[in-house]
Each structure stands twice: as C-alpha cells, then as structure tokens.
Amino acid sequence: DAGVIQSPRHEVTEMGQEVTLRCKPISGHNSLFWYRQTMMRGLELLIYFNNNVPIDDSGMPEDRFSAKMPNASFSTLKIQPSEPRDSAVYFCASSLWGDETQYFGPGTRLLVL
C-alpha cells in the first residue's frame, strides 16, 4: 500500500522565492496534518484539515505561510516569500478522523539561501 507521498523531497531556493510543498495522503484518510521540524524547535504542528476543511491553523507562523486542500487526495503548503529561517524539514501526515494514529510522509527538506 502506498503511504503518504510528499514532493519534492529536497528543495533549495533563494530568499524571496515562492515555495510549494505537496502532499498526497493515504487513500481513505480524511485528516491531514502539516508539521515543521527544526533542531531548535523540534516538531511543530502547522495546520490540520478534516474532510478538506482547515480545522486549526494556529501553528502557521505568519501570513507568508498558506495551506490548501482542494480535494481528499491532495494538499499544498506554500511559503511566499520564503526566508532563510523557513529552512526545515516539512512533514505531512494523514489519519482517519478520530483515529489517534497518524501516518507520516518522508518529508521535504527545504533550504532557503
């Protein structure tokens, strides 16, 4: 079975550029989570969706970050404009709503120069 799929796996960009990260959740899962992992702050929840609707975006650091889920099989996290402090590994995870277990993708390693 395919797990959570994320693309790209690695992204290097320059400050000020727009970055789009993509996620395909496990088929049948109706909850999707975006996390950011850094050495300094550990694993942080940015936003999560249920049935394609954003439920809690209180973890989104600022207006430069936005996330969408246009359908049950696709989500994007966009950073515009990007800054060096956005450099991190971004994970997507999915689950069945009400099921406590989340399944993580392999992550996107972002470097903003």
Partner 1 sequence: GDSVTQMEGPVTLSEEAFLTINCTYTATGYPSLFWYVQYPGEGLQLLLKATKADDKGSNKGFEATYRKETTSFHLEKGSVQVSDSAVYFCAQFSGAGSYQLTFGKGTKLSVIP
* Piece of the chain touching partner 1 by CB under 8 A; list 19-27, 68-76, 78-86, 90-98: 90-98
Give the list of residues 6+ apart from residue 43 with CB closer than 8 angstroms, or none: 35, 36, 37, 91
- Kindly provide the b/e burial profile for residues 50-84, where b requires at least 16 CB atoms within 10 angstroms of the residue's own CB: eeeeeeeeeebeeeebebebeebbebebebeebee
Is residue 4 near partner 1 by the rule CB under 8 A? Answer: yes
* Piece of the chain touching partner 1 by CB under 8 A; list 13-21, 69-77, 78-86, 91-99: 91-99
Shortest distance, CB of residue 84 to partner 1, whole angstroms?
22
CA distances from 112 to 39, 55, 82, 97, 104 (A): 16, 28, 7, 34, 23
Is residue 28 near partner 1 by the rule CB under 8 A? Answer: no
Binding partner 1 by CB under 8 A: which of 30, 64, 73, 103?
A: 103
Q: How far apart (Å, rounded) are the C-alpha atoms in residues 62 and 98?
A: 28
Binding partner 1 by CB under 8 A: which of 75, 82, 94, 102?
A: 102
- The residues that touch partner 1, with contacts defined as CB under 8 A, are 4, 31, 33, 42-43, 45, 48, 50, 55-56, 91, 93, 97-98, 100-107
